[in-house]
Every structure is written in C-alpha cells, then in structure tokens.
Structure 1
Amino acid sequence: MNGKVLLVEDDDSVREALVSIIEEHGLNVQAYSSAAQFLESFKPSAKSEVIVLDMKMPAMTGLELQSKLAEMQAHIPIIFISGQSHKEEIIQGLKHGASDFLLKPFKFEDLLFSIDKCLKLDLDYKQIKNKHDLLTPREKEVFEELVNGQLLKAIAIKWDVSESVVKLHKSNIMQKLQIETLQDLTRISIALKSHQ
C-alpha cells in the first residue's frame, strides 16, 4: 500500500519509535512534535494519507487539531493514540470522524493494521471524489436527485425539460463515475458524505 503517514506526537522517544516501526512497514512517514508544527507545513495531498495523532499534547490537543482540520475541510482519516484519555474525549474524537483510537501502550501490529485500513479508505475516497469532480454542476444536481430516489420523468417535470435530456445527464454521470447501477450511485454518495 502506497501512502503517507503524518505522525503528530510530542514525546520524542515515542515519536522516534513509531517512525521506525512505520518505516519498517514500508510506508513514508512525516513526523511532527506539535500540532502547530504540523499545521505550518500541512498541504492536502492527492495520494492516500492518514494522521496518527496524539490526543494529549500541550498548547493544542489532538481534538483541537481535529477540529481545525474539519474547518479547513481536510478530510483525512485520523487514528488517535493516547496514554490517558477520558471516555468523553474518546467519544468526541470518534463522533467527529476519527477512524480509530488506540490506548498506549498498544500493539504495533494493531497500529499498522489500522494505518493500512485508513490508507485504503482514503485512497478509495480520493478516487471517487476525483471522478465526482468531473461532473458538471447540472450533472451533480441530477446525481443528487437520482440518489434521493427520483425517477427520470419526475426530474424532467421538476426542471421543465424533456425526459431525454435527463437521460443524457444520467448516461454522462454513469460514464464519468464508471458505474452501471443506481446501487453504485448510492454507494458513491455515501462515501462522499462520510467525508463531509
């Protein structure tokens, strides 16, 4: 699995150990000692990424960084790691979209398994989003109508166009997204919404 691991951990010894383990697993790692340092150099990538994020850090906590990334609309999977977190913090992190939570000391295999899973999810999402971005504004509207169960005839009446025009939009959508069924359309819609 190609991809990049963005590690944010303020404990030097833990950070160095994790970098070593992740690199041995064959992955590229960029390590940061604070959330502020991470934000200074952060640029979303077209390649698959995952953030391994310490929840308890001075100045800016992992939860605060997660919130900042949400404001920036940076939809990257986050794996929280922590030695001491309250249940409420864990729930808050997961509720706001974190992919996993590991309590220190955790097994390295568990972290590597979670990283691989997140990189695959991020790659799938980015491939779907790239295809969805190819749709014209009108095709995106038809996409939403179809996902919401509207029939072609109903869409045509709503927009005061012929059904053949709507059929053409639908055909273009299916071609650009490289899918064949309405079930595939729904699957793509769910994948896109899960990262909003």
Structure 2
Amino acid sequence: MSELTQTIYVVDDDEAMRDSMNWLLEGEGYRVACFDSGESFLSARRDDMSGCIVLDVRMPEMSGLELHEKLDALGSQLPIIFVTGHGDVPMAVGALQRGACDFIEKPFHNEDLLSRIRRALELDAELAARRHRDGAITHRLEQLTLREKEVMQLVVAGKLNKQIADQLSISMKTVEAHRARVMEKMGVRTLAELVKAVMSLK
C-alpha cells in the first residue's frame, strides 16, 4: 500500500489545532481529512479507510477514548495516535494497553508528530497486507473438501501418512493423493509453508 492511498484523519474539536495540523501534514504531501468531533468522524467512517487517526483525548460529548472504544467495537484497525495534555498521560497509557498505536503530549514538536505518523502509516500498511494475505489463505481453505481439511489438520499436527491413514481408515495412497491436492490448493510447496499458512489464521 502506498502513502498515496492513505489518509491522516485529524479528529479535534479545536479549530486552530485542526488548521495547524492540516497545514503541516498537507505541506508534507499527506492526504488529510479533519473532523471536529468523534460523532462527525463516525458518520463518515467506512470499513475500507486506510491511513491513521490523530485523535484528541479531551473533546466535549464524545471523548477521544470513547471514540476509540466505539471504533474498536466496529472492528476498525486504523492506527490511532492520541494527542494529550500533560494530565492525560495515564489515560493515554491505558489506551495503548487497549490497542492504540501511540500518543504525543502537547505542546509537541512537528517532527515528533511526523515521525509517529510515519510509524502509524507503516503499521497500517502491514495490517492491510496481513488482511490481504489472510483473506487469500481463507479463500484457499474454502476450496478444500471436508476430507482434505481432515488430512491437512493431521499433517499440520505432525502426523505421518501411515498414522493419518490409520486414524481416518483410508489407504496410504489415498492420504498421499489428498495431501498432494491440499498442497496444490493451498499454493504451498513445503510442509513448513503449509504449517505457517494455517497457523497465521489462528
């Protein structure tokens, strides 16, 4: 994923802060979208958004922490950088423990914010690549027959062909045929690749 498709979503009720962040980030070549409340961001949110959120902790009505909880409940994986005042650090640390990406204290240096944003965008790209890979693996798993899935699970569990044949009451030749089709359908060449593919979904 390139940065061209990623957007930095600034959610802050302070208009001056939104304007200065917008100016800074657009000056660095980023796509920026600003929102004055958690509610306005939620109403614009889509599942296919990519990038990161720069989110003020303290906002009237819906706080940044409440928005984080709502996004979490919706299954959002957009990395969140909390912007905090000095007294909000314990809250921000708690948010990190619940899955936020980072936080930065006001007043902050522009370069400090930009370095955090670069890390968040890298994380977003990694998560998107993982989702794409997992989606491809899931699609391949769906192509397997029930018997092929049974054989695959036993292969991944380290069982030998003879043990699989005994356990499933089928011939060794049948096990070998199923095993070959599993490798082909899963798009892997080695047992190690098969194990990694199956384990990545757990």
TM-score, structure 1 normalization = 0.77
Distance in 2 of aligned mates of 1:139 and 1:159: 22
What residue is the counterpart of 1:10 in the other structure? 13
Mapped contact 1:50–1:77 kept (Cα < 8 A): yes
Q: Does 1:165 align with 2:178?
A: yes
Alignment of 1:130-141 (within 5 A): 130-136=132-138, 139=141
Judged with a 3 Å threshold, the aligned counterparts in structure 2 of structure 1 residues 117 and 172 are, in CA distance, closer, same or farther, namely farther
The one of 42, 45, 48 equivalent to 2:48 is: 45
Q: Which runs of 5+ in 2 are unaligned?
A: none
Quick one: higher RCO (CA 8 Å, sep 6+), 1 or 2? 1
Residue 157 of structure 2 is aligned to residue 150 of structure 1: yes
What secondary structure does 2:137 align onto? coil
Cα distance in 1 between the residues matched to 2:191 and 2:73: 35
Question: Which residue identity is paired with 1:121?
Answer: L
Hey, what's the Cα distance between the residues in 1 that align with 2:116 and 2:26?
Answer: 15
Question: Residue 136 of structure 2: SS of its match in structure 1?
Answer: coil
What is the number of equivalent residue pairs in this alignment? 183
Cα 1:150–1:69 shift into 2, 3 Å: same
Match of 2:72 in 1: 70
CA distance in 2, matches of 1:25, 1:85: 30
CA offset at residue 96 of structure 1? 1.1
Check if 1:104 corresponds to 2:127.
Answer: no
CA displacement at 1:90 relative to structure 2 = 1.7
- 2:196 is aligned to 185
Query: Residue 104 and residue 159 in structure 1: after superposition, are their counterparts in 2 closer, same or farther (change >3 A)?
Result: farther
Where does residue 125 of structure 2 map in the other structure? Answer: 123
Q: Which runs of 5+ in 1 are unaligned?
A: none
Q: Distance in 2 between matches of 1:85 and 1:9?
A: 17
C-alpha separation between the residues in 2 aligned to 1:98 and 1:136?
Answer: 27
Partner of 1:27: 30
> 1:55 is matched with which residue?
57
1:5 corresponds to which letter in structure 2? I
Q: Secondary structure at the match of 1:74?
A: coil
SS at match of 2:92: helix
Maintained 8 Å contact 2:140/2:185: no
Higher alpha-carbon Rg? 2
Identity over aligned pairs, percent: 28
